Amino acid sequence: MCKYLHANIIVGANAILPARIVGNDHSPKLPKNLETLLQHYQFLNHVLHSIRLLRKYLHTFSSSHDHKWSVYLIRLNNIFSLYKSTLSAVLVLPLTLSSCQPDNFNKLLETLLHASKLLRGLHLLKEKEFQNSSIIAHIENRDYNYDTDISSFINSVLSCSRRKIMLDHVFINYPTAPRLLTDLKDISDAMINHFQNTVPIKSTLPSHISALPER
């Protein structure tokens, strides 16, 4: 009976629950300042790409480029002001793109490249700091759950959320008196009895998380 019940539960679970690859897919949300830094870095690279294209196709230059640059200039100056401690030297941008034509936009490109490299370095540094702090916080939370909430600890280790199946009937194949359970309480009692008294526990939990084996 117990083997039959156990087998049916496993078959039902495999049929209903979707397959899932277990892994450490924890992805903490980026803090606002790091997200803003990334957006500024991406915008700077977008401007760089535009200048490179303009430099390559000089014949396409028109007054519309100056107008677009006037919009870019406001945001670029705000970025330079925000990260002035990182940029160290004061970076001066031209008021118009037409003034950069004599040197084929070389000086402007050099300034933007320098700023891009510095912001990239700052982003990598801040991202590493955030990753380290997130890992420490995750480990501390895992250790706390190990002592206070073993269910959350298991879910955290497996990187998955709790899932369940609902059984509306269970067939107990007693040799002399087989029974079909349809009452939810009877089904629940049979399940509890099965997993408490039949399913073997092959190991015991270590007394502390530090006693767990290395991966």
Q: Nearest 5°: phi and psi at 25? A: -105, 30
Residue 166 CB neighbour total at 10 angstroms: 8
Q: What is the rounded distance in angstroms from the CA atom of residue 26 to the CA atom of residue 3?
A: 36
Angle between helices 63-82 and 32-56 (to 10 degrees): 150
Task: Say yes or no to pLDDT of 99 above 80.
Answer: yes
What pLDDT, on the 0 to 100 scale, is given for residue 161?
56
Task: Say yes or no to pLDDT of 42 above 90.
Answer: yes
Question: Model confidence at 8, in pLDDT bands (50, 70, 90)?
Answer: low
168 compared with 210, residue with greater pLDDT? 168
Q: What is the rounded distance in angstroms from the CA atom of residue 184 to the CA atom of residue 174?
A: 19
Question: What is the reported pTM?
Answer: 0.55
